[in-house]
Amino acid sequence: MAWFPKRGVKTRRAAAEPPPHPELVRLHSLALGDLLDGLVAGGAYRFLDLGPAVGSNIEYLSRFALSVKVADLWASLSSGEPRSWEKALDAIAPEEGSAGYHAVLAWDLLNYLSPERLRQLAARLAEATRPGGRVFALVYYSQEMPAEPPRFRIADRETLTYPEPPARRPAPRYPQRALQQAFAGFETEKGYVLKTGLQEFLFAKKPPPPPEPEREGEGVEPA
């Protein structure tokens, strides 16, 4: 039997419960530790962060960095503005007069790019990074990945945290060979397979080729 309130009697509605906070995922990151191990606290390094501006990350990296530039790649791609991709690539440019970035945090953004855009980004990073500069990237080998890039936070030199994603989508599952072809201007310095469905990579920019030696007789004026 259903009961209904009498007329004129106000009933109190149950207060809506606030949505639960997503559970934080902790990721043990060996490649991040390798990247930071090569830096000296108080150094004058230049960082490029391709994720959103996270205050705690900027504060952590400031221990090593002269500058931390944030170029939120996903925000540019999802904005729907004309030429958003071209503008995102332009925003990667280092400060005028500098030799380029020492380190780039690409997080898991490579997974959200088409093969063509992946090659374009890698080529732009090769232009913007100094010789020996390194790119830190996370690549999904699992069947699925978050529907949108998570907001990664640096907890310590080998630990990242991010909120458990509410929705997922199929992952492109880029093989290492495809990544090496895209990052033709880099060497794969480190690669780790994690149990969480992720692979970690450190790509190091190749040094410029040595100048060709002069052939015998070249540059000598005839008598």
**Mean pLDDT rounded to a whole number for the chain:** 88
* pLDDT tens, N- to C-terminus, the chain (223 residues): 444 344 444 444 444 554 556 789 999 999 999 999 988 888 899 999 999 999 999 999 999 988 999 999 999 989 888 899 999 999 999 988 889 999 999 999 999 999 999 999 999 999 999 999 999 999 999 999 999 999 999 999 999 999 999 999 999 999 999 999 999 999 999 999 999 999 999 999 999 888 777 666 555 555 5
Q: Which residues 6+ apart lie within 8 Å of 152 measured at CB?
A: 51, 54, 57, 107, 108, 160, 161, 162
- DSSP letters, 10-22, are --PPPPPPPPPPP
Q: Which of 54, 59, 46, 145 is nearest to 94 (CA)?
A: 46
pLDDT in tens, 79-97: 888 899 999 999 999 988 8
CATH number of 40-144+170-205: 3.40.50.150
**Helix, strand, coil share of the chain (percent; to 5):** 25, 30, 45
Q: Where are the domains of the chain?
A: 40-144+170-205
pTM of the model: 0.85
Q: How far is CA 88 from CA 36, 47, 121, 138, 195, in A?
A: 26, 16, 9, 20, 32
